[in-house]
Amino acid sequence: MDPMEMATLWESILSELKNYIPEKLYEAWIKSSIIPYSYENDILTLDTINQFVCGFVQKKYSTILTNSASHVIGRPTKVILISSEASLPKKPVTPEAETVQFKEEEKNETCTITVSQKPENIISEQELPDFPINDAQPLFSQENFSSPSEESIEELNSNYTFNSFIVGNSNRIAHAAALSIAEAPAVKYNPFFIYGGSGLGKTHLMHAIGHRIREKFPNLRLRCITSEDFANELISSIQDKNPESFRQQYRNIDVLLVDDIQFLENKEHTQEEFFHTFNKLYKDHKQMVFTSDRPPQDIKKMEDRLRSRFQGGMVTSIDPPDLETRMAILRKKAELEHVEIKKDAVDFIASNVNENIRELEGAFVRVLMQASEEKSPITLELTQRALKDLVQSKEEKKYITIDEIQRTVCQFYKIKIDDLLGKKKTKTIALPRQIAMYLCRELTTNTFPHIGKSFGGRDHTTVMHACDKVIKMTEKNEQFKSMIDQLNIMIKGVDK
């Protein structure tokens, strides 16, 4: 199952878990402490932030996790909890086990568990911060290092922090892994490889890691750079006949953040130098984070030995934000700019700009400028004027609603909307319903769970099954494919 499908599945399971676990405990021990690892052969593997959390969640919530996963997936599912840090070197374990007690305020229960190593700075569940304390220590000691240079601080964009990063279905796994890395560099997910299209937040997330590490570990030596700058510095060092200085600069740091690593393609000498830098840092248990516009296996003109090292850590994608996330981003921007913006204006921008976050922010700036020129509040009418050229330049309608698709399919098949959304499973209703679900997935940015809710509260797996069925039918039946194409044209032709 690919990262996007895993994120969608985990999102649905989280929604189910919220019904059974008190809010504070859910936020601290489930939502912020677990990310999906894999789902194969009816086995869902979840990765926890550290071994302590793994043991506690296993003790307290394994039954709830299993039941919730089975309910969402629609068949019996086994849930396995792991902590990927377990494969890394650990601090010496004390011979005597420690006993730790936790008291759940909402249920007034006390759960006693025995662990082989007591985490430092244990606090009660009620006192947990937004992201749980990670008991695992980085595989280096801060005391051995001098203060960071001003250069390393200036390399980080002050606007790119976790606080300003909007989390949605398209980036939830990447965000959770990034937080884990920032809390304990080089403990797990090393190297960390983020890929996705331009303007989706890869650089933002990488810089956020840098800022958090700088806050928590101020004496660590951190370097944030683009791959192009890395290549240029290497060339300069060769011209200056001082390549050893360049090597020492990069091979004696604690955290290396490299943006747009794909630009090392075709640069054989630079790849050779980077390969040895990577090996030295990895051997010394130093954290590395890379961003790219594509996954490692698709960087074709990269040396196999380097590509395989990228794949040896955690590789995750950031996809275009869905409608709900785009709306949240716009509301956050308005909050930061201290301006009020009407809900229908937010809807209009988010609906018509869905390629990437950079374009979304650009559209928001245009609206702000229009409001400033007219000395007017940000209404739908003003927003439409500000973005008139942008919307008209689109060759086809950018925003299609689920309602429009449902109405068009009902008209095409001459069935009632109540039947389409209802419980009837006759072929004359079931097939149009599956086609409508497929078109919603193809023509909108809505997630499987959201589409399912819009079809009478159906489960997201029902939508996934419908999409798979329609795709297979279009591949086998040319007449059926032609009918789907006709529906596509009708839906895109709906008047705005």
Whether the model pTM is above 0.75: no
Binning pLDDT at 50, 70 and 90, where does residue 288 land?
very high
Query: Which one is predicted more confidently, 15 or 206?
Result: 206
Whether pLDDT at 110 is above 80: no
Whether pLDDT at 108 is above 50: no
- Closest by CA position to 27, among listed 124, 122, 130: 130
Length of the chain (residues):
496
pLDDT at 399: 62
Binning pLDDT at 50, 70 and 90, where does residue 111 land?
very low
Across-strand partners of 82?
Answer: 47
Whether pLDDT at 205 is above 90: yes
Whether pLDDT at 254 is above 80: yes
Residue type, 442: E
Provide the residue ranges of all domains of the chain, joining segments of one domain with +: 1-126, 149-317, 323-392, 402-492
User: Mean pLDDT across the stretch 196-215?
Assistant: 92
Residue type, 421: L
Cα-based angle 113, 115, 120 (whole degrees, multiple of 5): 110
Within 8 A by CB and 6+ apart from 456, the residues are 421, 422, 423
- The pLDDT tens digits for 3-29 are 557 777 888 898 889 888 888 788 778
**1-126 shares its CATH topology with 402-492:** no
- Whether residue 349 contacts residue 384, with contact meaning beta carbons closer than 8 Å, is answered with no
Q: Mean pLDDT of all residues in the chain?
A: 80
Binning pLDDT at 50, 70 and 90, where does residue 106 land?
very low
Annotated binding site for ATP: 199, 201-203
- Whether residue 72 contacts residue 9, with contact meaning beta carbons closer than 8 Å, is answered with yes
Distance (Å, rounded) from C-alpha 403 to C-alpha 474?
23
pLDDT at 92: 37
pLDDT at 28: 76
Query: Which one is predicted more confidently, 359 or 492?
Result: 359
Least confident of 50-64, 116-130, 358-372: 116-130
- The pLDDT tens digits for 80-96 are 998 765 444 443 333 33
Whether pLDDT at 387 is above 80: yes
Within 8 A by CB and 6+ apart from 164, the residues are 204, 332, 336
Whether pLDDT at 271 is above 60: yes
Q: Which CATH architecture has domain 323-392?
A: Orthogonal Bundle (1.10)
Spell 336-357 as b/e; 16+ CB within 10 A means b. Answer: eeeeebeeebbbbbbbbbbebb
Binning pLDDT at 50, 70 and 90, where does residue 122 land?
very low
Annotated binding site: 199, 201-203
Whether pLDDT at 230 is above 60: yes
Least confident of 191-200, 352-361, 411-420: 352-361
Per-residue CA distances from 244 to 222, 356, 398 (Å): 19, 41, 53
pLDDT at 137: 39
User: Mean pLDDT across the stretch 400-407?
Assistant: 87
User: Mean pLDDT across the stretch 203-217?
Assistant: 94
- Whether residue 138 contacts residue 219, with contact meaning beta carbons closer than 8 Å, is answered with no
**Which two three-digit tokens encode residue 174?**
């990447």
- The pLDDT tens digits for 434-474 are 999 999 988 887 778 888 888 988 888 899 899 989 999 98
Give helix 427-443 / helix 402-413 axis angle, nearest 10°: 150
- Closest by CA position to 254, among listed 227, 285, 289, 229: 285
Whether pLDDT at 329 is above 70: yes
Query: Which one is predicted more confidently, 248 or 89?
Result: 248
Binning pLDDT at 50, 70 and 90, where does residue 393 land?
low
Is the domain covering 149-317 a CATH 3.40.50.300 domain? yes
Whether pLDDT at 132 is above 50: no
Residue type, 228: E
By the 10 Å C-beta count (0-12 exposed, 13-18 middle, 19+ buried), 398 is classed as middle
- The pLDDT tens digits for 143-201 are 444 444 444 444 788 889 998 898 887 888 899 899 989 988 988 788 999 998 888 89
Place of tokens 């590789």: 315
pLDDT at 3: 59
- Closest by CA position to 119, among listed 210, 183, 62: 183
Place of tokens 């909050």: 335
Whether pLDDT at 490 is above 60: yes
Q: Which CATH architecture has domain 402-492?
A: Orthogonal Bundle (1.10)
- CATH superfamily for 1-126 is DnaA, N-terminal domain (3.30.300.180)
Distance (Å, rounded) from C-alpha 143 to C-alpha 367?
50
Query: Which one is predicted more confidently, 140 or 433?
Result: 433
